[in-house]
Structure 1
Amino acid sequence: MKKVKRILWPLLIALVVLIAGGIVYLKATAYQPTTAAKTAEKSAQSTTNSLYFPSDDHQKPLVVFYPGALVTPASYSIWAQQVAAAGYPVYIAKFPLNLAVLSPNVATKILNGSKRDYVIGGHSLGGVMASRYAKNHDDQQLKGVFYMASYPDEKGRLDQTKLPVLSLTASRDGVLNWSNYEKAKKYLPTTTNYQQIKGGNHGGFGSYGQQKGDHSAMITNAAQQKQVAQDLIAWLNQLNQ
């Protein structure tokens, strides 16, 4: 028994060190907001589960947003601020280690029993998790789902629902798996609204600099942020008619 303990203890310590090192690494490599995004973030309220951009309008649907993998919530502050200014409050979800897969149902905590209508969406991996949430919480309050450089997997398929869906992509996206994106269209309603931002890239759906593997954008980040906000607002306005 003592011999077994002498073997197990070093292994346990090594495992703990490995896990701790992994956590430190993920935190250190997370994409951080640009100066412009940090400025926009000042209009938000930080809560335990989200970065909240309030609106004076108390009738329009809430917007719940799941960030992409390893992207900090504040990185989406620019378009979120613009959408909130149009009357749609925005909640950018916070996840452990900035990974939506570690807390996919955080939207329930964000909504906190609210009876107000809402839409949910996400960027990249965040969109996949948001889609799964929507599939499992398709009720009268959920009014639509949106994707930014993202698509549903089979667990988040929405083709059998009547939910309005917006799919935003960018022509210079070098991170999105375009083949899988096309294949995943079978999981979306035939009424899905597809929009593409010409000259934009994957990282341009937020404001956190160049993402590994991405193509260089042919438009400024400010221009892409404005287009993201405009497309999302136009879609929301249609839902709110």
Structure 2
Amino acid sequence: MKKWKKILLTVLIGIVVVMVGGVAYLKTQTYAPTERAQQTAEKGESSRDWLYFPSNDKTKPMIIFYPGALVDPESYSLWAQTVAKAGYPVYILKMPLDLAVLAPNRGEKVLSEHPDRDYVLGGHSLGGVMASRFAKEHPDKLAGMFFLASYPDEKGSLAGTEIPILSLTGENDKVLNRETYQKAKEDLPKSTDYQEIAGGNHAGFGAYGAQKGDGTSTIDNQNQQVAERLLAWLTEKVE
């Protein structure tokens, strides 16, 4: 084998090893759902692209949700099931390596299956940033948007929109960058509904245990509060 071919082969092997190692490392860093969340997820409908909690009510908008970075979609099943039972079908999107930044337009697959149905978009942490960009590019049929410990960036600025928007945060959240969060209010309409869950933290918007760098939650029903606040907002502002 010629010298240049050996060098090329060595480089390619090195790249493959790094990629495989990187994927393996990310897998070890992914936050898995709690046992209760996993059991609840089994009651939904799972496919390659999403975890779906259906509803027989055809009059209410569907919800498309972007998970936080490195958080298993099943972790959001507790509040998602409650919201679906109230009439809002919920699609929790599945992302490559559990990173929404790798598939920011994954929501298009849901819209393509329901072209005539209104939808509400939501996201947790980095998922909310990606969701805001999707919202800006897909305004048709968008009935509202909610952020869970998240905010839009400049590419997903919604300052000029008239849709109802809910921003939910946790009092003890130590993961959310508060300075960036405050600045991001410039990219949201003045009518945005800002709510804080007393005693809540960043990980409490899902059910996947403690998150590195997060504050301690002093409540044990944050997922229930998320569902209740979402439903109250949906009923009052979106329908």
Both structures adopt the same fold (TM-score exceeding 0.5) = yes
3-state SS, counterpart of residue 189 of structure 2: coil
User: Aligned partner of 1:100: which letter?
Assistant: A
Q: Report the Cα offset of residue 238 of structure 1.
A: 1.7
| TM alignment of 1:218-229, pairs within 5 A | 218-220=218-220, 223-229=221-227
| Distance in 1 separating the partners of 2:234 and 2:54 | 16
| Distance in 2 separating the partners of 1:154 and 1:42 | 37
- Map of 2:89 onto structure 1: 89
User: Aligned partner of 1:229: which letter?
Assistant: A
Residues 194-213 of structure 1 show CA distances to partners (whole Å, capped at 9, x for unaligned) of: 01000000000000000011
- Map of 2:123 onto structure 1: 122
Q: Is the 8 A contact 1:49 1:110 kept in 2?
A: no
- Map of 1:138 onto structure 2: 139
1:9 matches 2:9 = yes
- Map of 2:203 onto structure 1: 203
| Distance in 1 separating the partners of 2:171 and 2:192 | 18
Q: Report the Cα offset of residue 145 of structure 1.
A: 1.0
| Distance in 1 separating the partners of 2:39 and 2:17 | 37
Q: Is the 8 A contact 2:128 2:148 kept in 1?
A: yes
| Distance in 2 separating the partners of 1:117 and 1:100 | 22
- Map of 2:194 onto structure 1: 194
3-state SS, counterpart of residue 65 of structure 2: strand
- Map of 1:157 onto structure 2: 157
Q: Report the Cα offset of residue 49 of structure 1.
A: 1.1
Q: Is the 8 A contact 2:93 2:106 kept in 1?
A: yes
Q: Is the 8 A contact 2:29 2:70 kept in 1?
A: yes
Report the more deviating stretch, 109-118 or 51-60. 109-118
| Distance in 1 separating the partners of 2:238 and 2:123 | 20
Q: Report the Cα offset of residue 6 of structure 1.
A: 2.2
- Map of 1:235 onto structure 2: 233
| Number of residues of Structure 1 aligned to a counterpart in Structure 2 | 238
3-state SS, counterpart of residue 169 of structure 2: strand
Unaligned runs of 5+ in 2: none
| Distance in 1 separating the partners of 2:231 and 2:98 | 26
Report the more deviating stretch, 118-127 or 1-10. 1-10
| Distance in 2 separating the partners of 1:240 and 1:56 | 19
Percent identity between the aligned chains?
57
Q: Report the Cα offset of residue 9 of structure 1.
A: 1.6
| Distance in 2 separating the partners of 1:158 and 1:204 | 26
TM-score by length of 2: 0.97
Residues 15-71 of structure 1 show CA distances to partners (whole Å, capped at 9, x for unaligned) of: 110001111111222111101101211220002211000112111000100000000
- Map of 1:104 onto structure 2: 104
Q: Quote the RMSD (CA, aligned, Å).
A: 1.2
3-state SS, counterpart of residue 63 of structure 2: strand
> Structure 1 59/99 Cα, relative in aligned 2: closer, same or farther at 3 Å?
same
3-state SS, counterpart of residue 112 of structure 1: helix
Q: Is the 8 A contact 1:96 1:102 kept in 2?
A: yes
Q: Report the Cα offset of residue 170 of structure 1.
A: 0.2
Q: Is the 8 A contact 1:64 1:118 kept in 2?
A: yes
Report the more deviating stretch, 66-75 or 3-12. 3-12
Q: Is the 8 A contact 1:60 1:240 kept in 2?
A: no
Q: Report the Cα offset of residue 162 of structure 1.
A: 1.0
